[in-house]
Amino acid sequence: MSDLPAGWEKRISNTHGKEYYYNTKTQESRWEMPGDTAPSTVRASHLLVKHRDSRRPSSWRENKITRSKEEALQILNGYLEDIRSGRSTFGELASQFSDCSSAKRNGDLGHFGRGQMQKPFEEASFGLSINEMSGPISTDSGVHIILRTE
């Protein structure tokens, strides 16, 4: 007898090689067992500033990024200050200055579940409330500001 609610089954992800849960009625899939109170997905936008030690130190804005991590953090903190003061919106800055291709969507990454993003990014995103913005988050990609939208 299964501990899963009706309509749910356990499957193995071809991409990640780990168990996930699939609802045969709604086609919803999630990493967490159904019935958990934690959301299975979040939606977030981000503003990424890469540095020379990023795993891929180039972007749509710059072919070769040479700034240090400290310089990237200074830039990111300036963006935070502009957003918090009301001088700019998150979307305006992300669309102009993010080193991620999501810039063309004002930084919107869409919905994602656990295990789909780098761990520090995932933990920050799932730890934010809806419409809450993070401080600087460092990953192998660079430094980010994250805005949880759903």
Catalytic residue IDs: 46, 100, 118, 141, 144
Residue 38 CB partners (closer than 8 Å, separation 6+): 32, 126
Residue 96 CB partners (closer than 8 Å, separation 6+): 103
- Name the DSSP letter for residue 130: T
Which amino acid, one-letter code, is at 123?
Answer: E
